[in-house]
Amino acid sequence: MLISVTRGTRKSDIMRSSTIYIIRRIVFAIAVIFAIIIFNFIIFRLLPGNPIDVLYGGKILTPQQMKMLYQQFGLNQPMWLQILIYIKNTLTGNLGISYTYSLPVSSILFNAIINSLILGTPALIFAILIGMWTGKIAGWKRNSQIDNVVTNISMILWSIPAYWLGTLLILLVMKTGIIPVSGMFTIGTIYPNFISELFDVLKHLFLPLITLTLVTFGSYTLIMRNSLLDVFDEDYILTARAKGVPEKVVLNKHAVPNARLPIVSMIAIHFGYLVGGLVLIETVFSWPGIGYTIYQAILNRDYPLLQGAFLIIAISVVLANFVADLIYLYLDPRIKYEKFK
């Protein structure tokens, strides 16, 4: 929690506590990533049989592939060495071979993650903007009719399973044939130029983007509303009102900028939630991102791919959290003054 500003703090102290803050976040991020790698190592070895049976069970492998896998897992080595080999492989991007696609997992995931970002980034931005806007209205007119409507709609949208909403939207627009409901490109199209390719992708992006935005923004609405209500209790708002500052100015210049701060930290916490929605929505719309890859991996029992996809998602979320922490530090000067244990 934030602590009030200490008077007479010297500049060097500020620098030092910012540095400590950043170092703490870096250490935490690295620790989590290592824990995820170790977790990934352990979980696929908890299953009976050796990892090759588990990961590639029932699949016909050539002797050459078999030899490669034995080498990759270091199966004739002691356990501690196997862990080290696994960490080294993971860190160097060697995530094994997906037998569904007969391609290295890392190259499949690289394309998938870019497609996921194309869908996830604008959805996150829209969700935050809509959430902050609606949350501002609800918090401003608290306990009014409009507050009730906004809060209830946010809660309902937030409760709707993303894949079901996606399905309904597909059923609604499919008959019209205006926008495509599946995939990222129109199959079999040869694009004359980049603009027409971009246009085609945008058309495919439309429905999944709307779905993801709809199921995500509600949580930001509620956070913004609550955050605004907290700010309204602060003395400086009372002061501003007492000074006769117009209500609109109190809202937009005094309250909203301060209410934005918790949003930044909440974006990070809700990032995992967005990723969950992404997995389900990509599946419904066959959007070839990381979530769709997970679905394919489940259907085909392609464990190396599943393992790799989880690793990449988890690491991305940890990194996104780290970036959010840095933004928080930049936006909130108070944190620089905070004393750390």
* Contact residues: another protein, CB under 8 A: 28, 31-32, 35-36, 43-44, 46-47, 143, 152, 155-156, 158-161, 163-164, 167-168, 170-171, 174-175, 226, 229, 269, 271-273, 275-276, 279-280, 283-284, 294-295, 298-299, 303, 306-307, 310, 313-314, 317-318, 321
Q: Are strands 97-98 and 103-104 parallel, antiparallel or unpaired?
A: antiparallel
Whose Cβ is closer to another protein: residue 20's or residue 68's?
20
Minimum CB separation from another protein for residue 136, in Å?
17
311 vs 175: CA distance, rounded Å = 39
Both tokens of residue 267?
A: 């974006």
Whose Cβ is closer to another protein: residue 24's or residue 67's?
24
Whose Cβ is closer to another protein: residue 36's or residue 105's?
36
On whether the CB atoms of residues 204 and 185 are closer than 8 A, the answer is yes
How many other C-beta atoms lie within 10 A of the C-beta of residue 288?
A: 20
Whose Cβ is closer to another protein: residue 251's or residue 280's?
280
**Burial environment of residue 7 by CB neighbours within 10 A (0 to 12, 13 to 18, 19 or more):** exposed
290 vs 305: CA distance, rounded Å = 10
Whose Cβ is closer to another protein: residue 251's or residue 311's?
311
On whether the CB atoms of residues 261 and 172 are closer than 8 A, the answer is no
Minimum CB separation from another protein for residue 181, in Å?
8
Minimum CB separation from another protein for residue 34, in Å?
11
Minimum CB separation from another protein for residue 269, in Å?
7
**Burial environment of residue 197 by CB neighbours within 10 A (0 to 12, 13 to 18, 19 or more):** middle
Minimum CB separation from another protein for residue 280, in Å?
6
232 vs 133: CA distance, rounded Å = 17
Minimum CB separation from another protein for residue 134, in Å?
17
Whose Cβ is closer to another protein: residue 11's or residue 175's?
175
On whether the CB atoms of residues 96 and 310 are closer than 8 A, the answer is no
How many other C-beta atoms lie within 10 A of the C-beta of residue 84?
A: 13
Q: Which helix (H) or strand (E) holds 144?
A: none
Whose Cβ is closer to another protein: residue 10's or residue 341's?
341
